[in-house]
Amino acid sequence: MIQAGATMSAVPHNKRKRLQSILIKPAGPDCNMNCNYCFYLDKAALFPQAKIHRMSEEILEETIRQCLWAEPDQLSLGWQGGEPTLMGLHFFEKAVEFEQRYGRNQIIGNGLQTNGLLINRDWAKFLAKYKFLVGLSLDGPQHIHDRYRILKNGKGTWSEVADKAKLLLDAGVAVNAISVVTDYSVQFAEEIYDYHKQLGLSYMQFIPCFERNPAIPSEPAPFSVPAEGYGKFLCRLFDLWTSNFVQSTPTTSIRFFDSIFYSYIGLEPPECTLGRTCGVYLVVEHNGDIYSCDFFVTPEWRLGNILEGNLLYMLNSKRQQEFGLRKARLPGECLKCAWLTVCRGGCPKDTVSDGENGFINHFCASFKMFFEHADAKFRHLAQEWKERQARQMKVDRTVSPQKPSRNDPCPCGSGLKYKKCCGKT
């Protein structure tokens, strides 16, 4: 195998990133829906050699082989698109077969992000058997979901997707609701939250929509969520989330809030938008091309190809380091902001020109509004968590002097693995 130019020799050993997460797009930008706000459909222009884009078994095997060679402990594989289920169930059965063949007793987590249209009982049985975490794209009740998530003929998809959510849940599949917050849905925080709960989707991820207007690139696309509206959405959602706590413990999970909580207890947040830098994972396209980030699948940020290079080397390449450090180059307004340590400037894809300070995040005003609203509660929750942690550690030292292993649940009761909690601090 050819090793693509760069090696890791220039990267100090203690600063080398581990390949613990990778995003795989086996059907590339292909999709059986035509959502108005989708940013990825246009990526087909990068692959003009064919109208239909499908990952070969050779590329699939090499991707999994390299991933499991690179990471000795714990690996997360995200299967995304476009729509990954266009590959058919056999492709994913083959993926699991390769994971079993090349695995070395690692913990392997598979996550499938899908629009749900092709899911049937066979899919549900497979996903439950191999413990796939499914992120189901469901924007909320019918009038919200069908606003933008439509077929090529303009027909809405809510009824079918809602049925598939029930099918997956009934089969015992772990399902997260993935909801895009748009100019329309931003008005309905409570309705969306209650809808997901009633459907049985207690794990939720909300993605603020921001795309540029193709006709006027300096302006947001019409479906993009306004900054002020998104700030109010987050505040209302936070109040709903905390109102459902039982004995200071959440009964629903909202990924953004969960990630922010990490910062308040002194841990590294799992969401890359909240980190000092980014570039902590790689994207594998259907043809084996490797990119720096899902939002930067562009020729500029193509790092190589899986059949010609090494994933771990590409993750630690000078080019990927440059990509990650771009996030840390924040404007002066961010550097003097009271919320810098919990915000970190947001996602670089959402930066816009402000005419004075150069560039700033489109959602800057949203985040300021939200942290001013939620900070006191987060601090209170963090203090309670630390007190519980201290009490539990005291009990554990009394009951048993044995130290937990890295992948054991942390004895403090946080719900995190020991290596991600007390074993880290």
pLDDT in tens, 407-422: 676 665 555 666 666 6
3 state SS of 403: coil
Return the amino acid letter for 64: I
DSSP, collapsed to helix, strand or coil, labels residue 222 as coil
Instruction: Report which of 310, 349, 406, 23 is spatially closest to residue 208, judged by C-alpha positions.
Output: 349
Per-residue pLDDT 10s for the chain (425 aa) are 333 334 554 555 667 899 999 999 999 999 999 999 999 999 999 999 999 999 999 999 999 999 999 999 999 999 999 999 999 999 999 999 999 999 999 999 999 999 999 999 999 999 999 999 999 999 999 999 999 999 999 999 999 999 999 999 999 999 999 999 999 999 999 999 999 999 999 999 999 999 999 899 889 999 999 999 999 999 999 999 999 999 889 999 999 999 999 999 999 999 999 999 999 999 999 999 999 999 999 999 999 999 999 999 999 999 999 999 999 999 999 999 999 999 999 999 999 876 665 789 999 999 999 999 999 999 999 999 999 999 888 777 666 556 667 667 666 555 566 666 666 64
What does the alpha-carbon distance between residue 20 and residue 73 come to, in Å, rounded to a whole number? 8
Please tell me whether residue 137 adopts helix, strand or coil conformation.
Answer: strand
CB-count exposure of residue 382 (10 Å: 0-12, 13-18, 19+): middle
Q: How far apart are the first and last CA of the chain?
A: 40
Per DSSP, the three-state class of 304 is strand
Q: Which amino acid is at 9?
A: S
Active-site positions read: 294
Residue 240 structure tokens: 């709903």
Verify cis geometry, omega within 30 degrees of 0, for the bond prior to 423: no
- Beta bridge pairs of residue 112: 79, 134
326 backbone dihedrals φ, ψ, rounded to 5°? -60, -35
Contact 244, 202 (CB under 8 A): no
3-class secondary structure, 290? strand
Sequence-distant (≥ 6) Cβ neighbours of residue 160 within 8 angstroms? 116, 117
The whole-angstrom separation of Cα 244 and Cα 5 is 53
What's CA 88's distance to the chain center, in Å? 23
Q: Which residue has the tokens 């201290």?
A: 390
